[in-house]
């Protein structure tokens, strides 16, 4: 069964350092999402891509977060500089079209110390 690949699985970084997460969606899925999930909460959207274009980044803290999907396939989410409050699970998901179910990756657990 096709999966959404994410790496790294875990990341520990010091405050003010840069960190990057990678996501490879299911082949052929045009829509890709990055969500952040704080422990005990539901996922909250950071950014949505349709192919290589950003569709919704209204909740992305653009002073420190950036996301790209240059060729409309895999995607990178970057945080620079990391803050203690960024500690969370970062989840990538893809879907064949916007109004269908999502397939999520296993996520990256970020701890900022």
Partner 1 sequence: SQQGEEDPQALSIQEGENATMNCSYKTSINNLQWYRQNSGRGLVHLILIRSNEREKHSGRLRVTLDTSKKSSSLLITASRAADTASYFCATDFSGNTPLVFGKGTRLSVIA
Task: Give yes or no for residue 4 binding partner 1 (CB under 8 A).
Answer: yes
Q: How far apart (Å, rounded) are the C-alpha atoms in residues 8 and 109? A: 8
Task: Give yes or no for residue 44 binding partner 1 (CB under 8 A).
Answer: yes
Q: How far apart (Å, rounded) are the C-alpha atoms in residues 54 and 85? A: 25
Task: Give yes or no for residue 98 binding partner 1 (CB under 8 A).
Answer: yes
**What is the maximal distance between C-alpha atoms in the chain?**
39
- Are residues 60 and 36 in contact, defined by beta-carbon separation less than 8 angstroms? no
| Structure tokens that stand for 72 in this block | 């409309």
Task: Give yes or no for residue 107 binding partner 1 (CB under 8 A).
Answer: yes
Binding mask 52-81 for partner 1 (x = CB under 8 A): ----x-------------------------
Nearest approach, Cβ of 20 to partner 1 (angstroms)? 19
Task: Give yes or no for residue 33 binding partner 1 (CB under 8 A).
Answer: yes
| Structure tokens that stand for 96 in this block | 């064949």
| Structure tokens that stand for 37 in this block | 């999930």
Q: How far apart (Å, rounded) are the C-alpha atoms in residues 16 and 37? A: 21
Nearest approach, Cβ of 95 to partner 1 (angstroms)? 9
Q: Which residues bind partner 1 (CB under 8 A)?
A: 4, 6, 33, 35, 40-45, 48, 56, 89, 91, 93, 98-107, 109
């Amino acid at each position: 069964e096709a999966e959404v690949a994410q790496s790294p699985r875990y990341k520990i970084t010091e405050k003010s350092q840069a960190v990057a997460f990678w996501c490879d969606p299911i082949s052929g899925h045009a829509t890709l999402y990055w969500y952040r999930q704080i422990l005990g909460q539901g996922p909250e959207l950071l950014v949505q891509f349709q192919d290589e274009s950003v569709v919704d980044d209204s909740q992305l803290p653009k002073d420190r977060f950036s996301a790209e999907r240059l060729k409309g396939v895999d995607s990178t989410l970057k945080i620079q500089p990391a803050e203690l409050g960024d500690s969370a699970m970062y989840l990538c998901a893809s879907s064949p079209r916007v109004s269908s179910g999502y397939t999520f990756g296993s996520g990256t657990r970020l701890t900022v110390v």
